[in-house]
Every structure is written in structure tokens, then in C-alpha cells.
Amino acid sequence: MLNSVKFKITFTAFLIILFIMVLSTFRDIRQAEQKLLNSQKEKAVLLSDRIAHGVMVLMLKNRWQDLQTFMESLVKDSRELKGIRIFLPENGIIVASSEPGNIGSKIYTKDMEIFKSGEYQKAFLTEKDGEHYASKLTVIQNQSICYRCHGAEKEVLGVLGIDISLSGVYQSIREFQKEHFLDTLLAFLVMGGGILLVVGILIDRPIRKMIRTIRKIENGDLSARMEEGKKDEFGLMAKSFNSMVESLESAKKEIEQCHVEQMQRAAKLASLGEIISGIAHEIKNPLAGISCAVQVFQSDLSESDNKRVITTEILNHIRRLDRTVKDLLNYAKPKPPNFSPFMISDVLDKAIFFVYPEAKKNNVVIETVIENDIPEVLMDPDQMQQVFLNLIINAVQAMPDGGKLRISISNMNNSDAEGKIKGQLEAEKIIAVKLEDTGKGIEQADMESIFDPFFTRKSKGTGLGLSISQRIVQEHGGEIEVTSETGKGSAFTIYLPVIQKSGNN
């Protein structure tokens, strides 16, 4: 569940929403708190001005004795006003207070610091005796009307300080926080539920349908298809997926048909191989006896006897039959290859050496082009020599009026191979041996049959040469590819894997 797309999208959306809502909530609470505190500051300024004015009136009327009663009544009648004090600016001694017990003591340190710094024009927040207040200091100036009692020496007669309690404000802030957090939680749950519903309908449900369809296909039901009705990304995905399944179904049918044909062909070839093997063994021994008898008969003839021509021709036909029987036996019961590391150029040179007289006789020029650093290949040299002999002899016979046979050996990567051979070999490094002739070429109608057993357009031969060559190359882990153009020549390419020796990277 934790790895599902639904969980990841929902969890990410929840985190984003939670972050935004918590940030917004804290911002709103902070703004509300600042507004309430600023409101209390403004209230402190107004009250301070009013009280200062009342104090001046009492002083001008020479009712100084009523000042104490005036302060106490103001504090008593107000829920927020908690203290009124007048202190001397030079030493901070309280000369009048709403709490008579404070008279004669020093004013709070914070009040004195604010006064001395000159910032007393504004209200300020302070903590006194564990309580929070909005305080304001107001200077009582020595006016000319006050000179008769206080003289003209002092500019400031005293400093009025008031404290407005913030307990009610902080109580309101706590209630606001509680309500706001509850509203935020409720909104988060509603939005989260909405996201879950939307994700479930728009994402999770289509994905589950797709998964069910994919599982049906995994179980072999290629007739299953995804719904293509939607016009969003899921609809496009469904169309692409259905197209892929249709291609897969078509490919599966082709593979099954090809498999049936290959099995039928393999069964026919197996039966044919058993028949060939039996016939070849039945022919081989009598043929050897006939050859011995003819040779004995020929040894009794003189060199000038005309019958020697007949016996020689009989022996030639016997040797031809013997080669055919050997080809049949090699095809029916091939000898397993004996692998060992060899240079492919050495094996090719031996094959060319045996065919060279026949090529020279037919005016065929053999040209070899071999790249540098061609590595050794694990092979059976005798079998690979047979492959090269078959291909070179075919090329020479395809050029009865002369021509050119170009043989090249090159290194290449598997990924660089072209045609049907690309990607079929397991090794990454391969060697390509290409034989190109300028002969009459192969008819397009015959291209698919040239590797079939007993297929040949020659008046002589069994038609097993290319079939045996293909089998040998495939037993070496390689493949043969052929291209041809009628009237211009053919090209056979043998691809062999380069097997890395143990211990090499």
C-alpha cells in the first residue's frame, strides 16, 4: 500500500495542504494577536492622556489631596486598568499611586529605562510581577500656571505611568487559536476526504482496472482489452496498450504457426535422417565391395587394353557415389564438434589452398582482406574448413566464365550487425567472414530454400552442402546470412562469436 500511486499522491497532497493550512493559521493568529495588542496600546495612550488631563485639572484647582482618591476610583471602576503611578523623573520615586503602599518606593526598572531612552511617547508591552501589561508613560510638564506652587526651575514635574492588563487579550488569543485550529482541522479533514475521493475515482479506479486487464493478459488471455472511452491520459494509455496487445497477439499467432511448421519440418527431417542413415549404410558396404572387385579386375588388364577406360570410369562413379554417401551420413548423424582456439585465417588459408587449382582452372581470382588484431575463435577446425570449402567451391562453380571471389575477415560488435542476424548472437564481440563472388547470383524464388536439405539447381551434387554448413556454423554459436542479386553475384557472411578466455575482462 505504501508503494501505491494513490498513497503517494494522497500523502503528498496532504503534506502540501497541511503545510499551507498550518502556515495560514499561524499567520492569522499572529495577525489577530498583533491587532489585539495594538488595540490595547492605543487604549493605553488614550487612557494615559485622559488621566494626565484629570491630574492637571486637580492640580490647577489645588485639589492635590483628591488625587489619591481619583486614581483609586479609576482603577476600581475599570476591568483592564490595573495601576496608575506618578514618579519623579530624576530618581524614579513614586509620589502618587492607585496603590498607596507603593508611594515612596521606586518605579519599575523597565519604566525608568523607557523614560530615560526617550521612547515614552509610545505605549509599550511589559511584564510586571508575572503579569503582562500595555503601559504608557506621560510627562507632566511644568507650565507657567504651575510656577506659583512648583517654581520655574523644573521642566518636568513628574511622570504619569499607567498599566492596562493584557490577561483578557491573551485569553481572547487562546480562544481564537483554539477555534482557528479546530476550523483548520475540520477543513483539513474535509479537503483530505475530497482528495481521497477524487484520487480514488480519477486515478485509483482506472489503475486497478488496468491492473486487472494486465493480469488477465499475463495469464494468457490476449483477448482482454482496456477501456478506451476516456479522453485523458488514461484513455491514450489504454489505446496504446491495446495496440501493443494486438501486435503481441498477432506475433504470438505467427510464432505458434512457425513453431508448428518447424516441428513438422523437424519430424520430417528426423524421419528422413533415419531413412538416409539406413540407406547409406546399406549402400556403403556393397559399394566398397564393388570398388575392390573392379580394382582387382582392372589390375589384371594390360595398360593397352581398351577395357581399362571402362573400369576407370566405373571407379570414378563409385568414388562419386562414395562422397554422396558420406555427405548423407554426415547430415543424418553429424559428428559433434571438438572445440579448441584457432585463428580463423589459418583455417581459411587451408581451404583456399585445396580449391585454388580449381579456381585457377576456371579463371577465378581469390582475394583475401583480413583486418588486424583478429582474435582466436573456439572452433572445430576440420568442420569449419568444410564450411569454407563448401562456400568457396559453390562460388567458383557460380563463375564458370571466370570472375572474382573476395573474402574478408573483420571484427564487429553484435549491435552493429545488420539484417536478420542482428541481436541473435549472445556474444558482444563477433567475427564476420564475408565471401562475395561476381557469379550469376541466386534467384529470389530460391533464396528461402537454399539451406534446405537436398535443394540444388546443379546437375551434380546432393544439395546438402549449404545445409550441413549452416548446421556446423550454428553449432559453433554463429549464423550464416546470404544476400544475392541475379546476374551480379552473391555474398555469404558467416558470423562467429568471440568467446572471452577465463580471466580476461
Give pLDDT tens digits along the chain (505 positions): 566 666 777 788 888 888 888 888 888 888 888 888 888 888 888 888 888 888 888 877 777 678 888 888 888 888 888 888 888 888 889 888 888 888 889 888 888 888 888 887 888 888 888 888 888 998 887 776 666 666 677 777 888 888 988 888 888 888 888 888 888 888 888 888 888 888 777 777 787 888 888 888 888 787 888 877 777 777 788 888 888 888 888 888 888 887 787 677 666 655 665 666 666 656 766 777 777 777 777 777 777 777 778 888 788 777 777 777 666 666 655 667 888 898 999 999 988 988 888 888 889 999 999 888 888 888 889 889 988 988 998 889 888 889 999 999 998 877 666 555 555 666 778 899 999 999 888 888 777 778 777 667 665 655 677 888 888 888 888 888 888 888 889 999 999 988 765 444 4
Q: Please state the φ and ψ torsions of residue 84, each to the nearest 5 degrees.
A: -130, 130
CB 470 within 8 A of CB 455: no
Give the architecture-level CATH label for domain 338-497: 2-Layer Sandwich (3.30)
Model confidence pLDDT, tens digit, residues 317-334: 777 777 776 666 666 556
Tell me what pLDDT residue 434 has: 92
Model confidence pLDDT, tens digit, residues 429-461: 889 999 999 988 888 877 777 877 766 766 565
Report the distance separating Cα 100 and Cα 109, nearest Å: 19
* 5-172 and 338-497 in the same fold: no
DSSP string, 240-287: HHHHHHHHHHHHHHHHHHHHHHHHHHHHHHHHHHHHHHHHHHHHHHHH
Global model pTM greater than 0.85? no
CB 281 within 8 A of CB 328: no
Report the distance separating Cα 322 and Cα 274, nearest Å: 19
Model confidence pLDDT, tens digit, residues 239-294: 888 888 888 888 888 888 877 876 776 666 556 656 666 666 567 667 777 777 77
Q: Beta strands 429-437 and 403-413: pairing type?
A: antiparallel
- According to DSSP, the residues that pair with 158 across neighbouring strands are 140
Q: Please state the φ and ψ torsions of residue 254, each to the nearest 5 degrees.
A: -65, -40
Strand (E) or helix (H) holding 429: strand 429-437
Domain extents in the chain: 5-172, 231-333, 338-497
Tell me what pLDDT residue 405 has: 92
Vertex 222: Cα angle to 218 and 225 (nearest 5): 100
CA separation, residue 485 to residues 91, 441, 488 (Å): 120, 5, 6
Using only the alpha carbons of the chain, give its radius of gyration.
55
Let me know if domain 231-333 sits in CATH 1.10.287: yes
CB 71 within 8 A of CB 96: yes
Tell me what pLDDT residue 111 has: 87
Let me know if domain 5-172 sits in CATH 3.30.450.20: yes
Helix (H, G, I), strand (E, B) or coil at 2: coil
Tell me what pLDDT residue 504 has: 43
Report the distance separating Cα 368 and Cα 355, nearest Å: 14
Residues 6+ apart with CB under 8 A from 296: none
Tell me what pLDDT residue 346 has: 92
